[in-house]
Amino acid sequence: MAEPISKQQMKCDEATAKSLIVDNWNSVNSSVSETAQRCGRSPDSVRVVGVTKYVDAEITSWLVEAGCHDLGENRPQLLESKFQTLDDSNIRWHQIGNLQRNKVRRLLPAEPLVHAIASERLLDALHNECLLQSRSIDGLIEINVSEEEAKTGLPIDQLEPLLVHWRELAGSSNAGLNINGLMAMAGWGTDETAAARQFAKLRELRDQMESSTGISLPELSMGMSGDYPAAIAEGATLVRIGTRLFQGVLPTG
Ligand SMILES: *Cc1c(COP(=O)(O)O)cnc(C)c1O
């Protein structure tokens, strides 16, 4: 994976970058609101997670200044270092990528929402470390909705057993891991129609699980720069948007 860029590597100068980031943030938000309204949903029901894995802490801080207070990183080390550098209690952190168990202890002080829980071992590690550190965090189970061999995420048929396991593990404790939704990525190279089908599948799965287990799963994290309108139409509550927020700033964008 490419290293996050610093301001020396931007496509434009600092003042231009700051104003582009403000414009991009505003246009993504209006587009998300309009899409929600067109689908008969309240604009408040969809939150934009600004994915900042492409840029260093300084450029990330310009997005925060533009008004984005939900920041998503896919590498836990980068999340942890930005959490320390930016030191801003108004930021809600999102660990959106794959997470190894040996990274959990150092990640938890940021109290991130963990989007990509796809195994019982990771779920247990998160819950147990939360108890050790007396913390509560929210987490989402990542589902492999595209059913491609190489994709990340839990196979659909393993979701119900994992939820039942989580309830037994966490049921009576106040601190710990709170599972409150599902996450998915559309398969690479899927067109908008195929992506929409996969997002619909995640929503239907959520509805089934809520009725079969009684566990409430209000959050659906789905949709990125290229497919968020389809995700919102299918019920996304969190959209994870990176590239579009840094358009004109990233050397390749
Ligand atoms: C990078 C990333 C995103 C953002 O993708 P863009 O296409 O840049 O908007 C969303 N979700 C995950 C899990 C990612 O790794």
Can you give the pLDDT at residue 186?
87
In this structure, the residue with its CA closest to atom 6 of ligand 1 is 242
Q: Is 34 helix (H, G, I), strand (E, B) or coil?
A: helix
* Angle between helices 57-66 and 14-38 in degrees, nearest 10: 50
User: Distance, CA 15 to ligand 1 centroid (Å)?
Assistant: 25
State which CATH number among 3.40.50.1360, 3.40.50.10860, 3.20.20.10, 3.10.450.50 fits the domain covering 7-246: 3.20.20.10
Per-residue pLDDT of the chain (253 residues; tens, 9 = 90+): 679 999 999 999 999 999 999 999 999 999 999 999 999 999 999 999 999 999 999 999 999 999 999 999 999 999 999 999 999 999 999 999 999 999 999 999 999 999 999 999 999 999 999 999 999 999 999 999 987 765 789 999 999 999 999 999 987 677 899 999 999 998 777 788 899 999 999 999 999 999 999 999 999 999 999 999 999 999 999 999 999 999 999 998 5
CA-based nearest residue to 248, from 55, 38, 35: 55
- Cα 247 to averaged position of ligand 1 atoms, centre (Å): 14
Model pLDDT, residue 1? 64
Q: Domain segments of the chain: what residues?
A: 7-246
- With a Cβ cut-off of 6 Å, ligand 1 is lined by 51, 53, 74, 96-97, 185, 224-226, 240-243
CA–centroid distance, 22 to ligand 1, in Å, is 19
The protein residue with its alpha carbon nearest to ligand 1, atom 11, reads 240
